[in-house]
Structure 1
C-alpha cells in the first residue's frame, strides 16, 4: 500500500516573468521544485514522487533534483496541466504497481508543511476516496456578471480556499481521468467531484500558499524560505 505523489511542473510561469519554468525559479538559492519534492518526501509517507516536466527541460529538472538529493522520477509533461497529471499518473502506476494512494501537488506550493501532507494521506487511508486541504475565506466575495456588475454576494462561511496536495484513492483518480480525457481543469478534486464522489477536507496551512506572482515570490523569500 504505497503512496505516490504527482507534481505537474510543466507550466511556464509567465506571471513570474523569470524566463524559466516556474518550478525552476529559485527561492533562497534552490528551485521551487526542489523545495516541493523535499517537502513531500519529508512527510515520511510518500514512497515515490513523479514530476511532469516541460519536454525541453526534462534533463534540466533531472539534474537539478539529483544535485539537491531530492529523489524523484521525471517524465515529459503535456501542453496542459491535465495532460501532465495524466502522464505522471501513468508513469507512477508503472513505477509503483502496488500504489493505492496518489497525491497531486503543485510545485508552486513549495513550502507546504510535511504535516499537511501526512494529514491528507491519513484521511485517505482512513477510508475517504478524495481529500483536499482547505482554508476559510477571509475576504468578502462578490459574483459579478459579464459587465462587471455585482450579481450576488455568497456567504463566505460556506466558502473555502483549496490547496494541495490533493489526495485520492488511485483507482478514483484514474477513473476520473479516464472519464474526462479532454478536460482542462486546474483542480483534480473538481474532476473527481463530477463522478459523484464525495470530497472530504482537512485544515490547510498558510505556508502552503501558491507562488504565482513576483509579490508571492518576495513573500516566500522573506518568510517561507
Structure 2
C-alpha cells in the first residue's frame, strides 16, 4: 500500500499485468487484516479480486491460485507476481506468458548478476568468489502451466521438487524491486520520467 506517484504500489502492479493484454484476471493475496484496504485500492479495476493470504508465500500463492481457477476455470497458465516489482513492463509479462504458452512448464525472467558476489563464513570472513558467468537474478512475474504450479504448491513451493525444466527469459531493469526508501525514490523518478 506504499504510495508511488499518487497510487499504491499494488495498483501499479495490477495495472501492469492487465495492460499486458494476456492476463484475464488478477487475484491479489493480501494480508488477512488488510483485505478491505487492498480491495478499496483496487476497486477501479474490473478483472481483479482480493483474497486473504496465508501464513507464508506458498500458502498465499495456493489461495490466490484457487481463487483464480474459480474465476477462470479453463486457465492453463498462471503468473505469480510480486508487488515489489510494481513497474514491471507489460512486454515482460507477455514474454513470460508467451514462453509458457509455447510449451515451457515454468518460466522465469532473469538478469545477469553484475555485482561481485562473495561467499562469507558465519564469522564474516570471505570464503571465495563464485564465478558469476552463470549466475542470474530472478524477477517476476514467474509463469507456470497451472498443473505445474499446483504440484509446486503441494511440494512446499519448491519447483525443483516437481522435476520440471525452468526456462529463463531476459528480464528487464525496469522490473526493479521496490523494497527500500532508496528504491522508492528511484521508482518515483522513473514514473515521473
TM-score tier, shorter chain, comes to: over 0.9
Aligned to 1:113: 89
Structure 2 alignment gaps of length 5 or more? none
Give TM-score, length-normalised by structure 2: 0.95
Write the distance in 1 (CA, Å) between the matches of 2:106 and 2:115. 27
TM-score by length of 1: 0.82
Asked if the contact 1:65–1:71 (Cα under 8 Å) also holds between the matched residues in 2, the reply is: no
| Alignment match of 1:206 (pick from 166, 173, 178) | 173
Runs of 4+ in 1 over 4 A off after TM superposition: none
In structure 2, C-alpha distance between the alignment counterparts of 1:179 and 1:202, rounded to whole Å: 24
Instruction: Supply the RMSD in Å over aligned alpha carbons.
Output: 1.2
Does the 8 Å contact 2:104/2:167 carry over to 1? yes
SS of 2:23 mapped into structure 1: coil
Secondary structure, aligned partner of 1:69: coil
When the two structures are aligned, how many residues end up with a matched partner? 192
Provide the residue aligned with 2:12 in structure 1: 35
Q: How does 1:18-33 map to 2 (within 5 A)?
A: 24-33=1-10
The question of 1:136 aligning with 2:103 is answered no
Distance 2:85 2:7 in 1: 14
Report 1:72-151 matches (<5 A): 72-151=48-127
- After alignment, is 123-132 or 56-65 more displaced? 56-65
- Write out per-residue CA displacement over residues 103-137 of structure 1, whole angstroms, 9 at most, x where no aligned residue: 00001100000000000000001010000000011
Please say if 1:48 is aligned against 2:25.
yes
The alpha-carbon deviation at position 70 of structure 1 amounts to: 5.8
Instruction: Determine if the alignment matches structure 1 residue 196 to structure 2 residue 163.
Output: yes
1:179 Cα deviation after fit: 2.3
Name stretches of at least 5 consecutive residues in structure 1 with no aligned partner: 1-23, 181-187
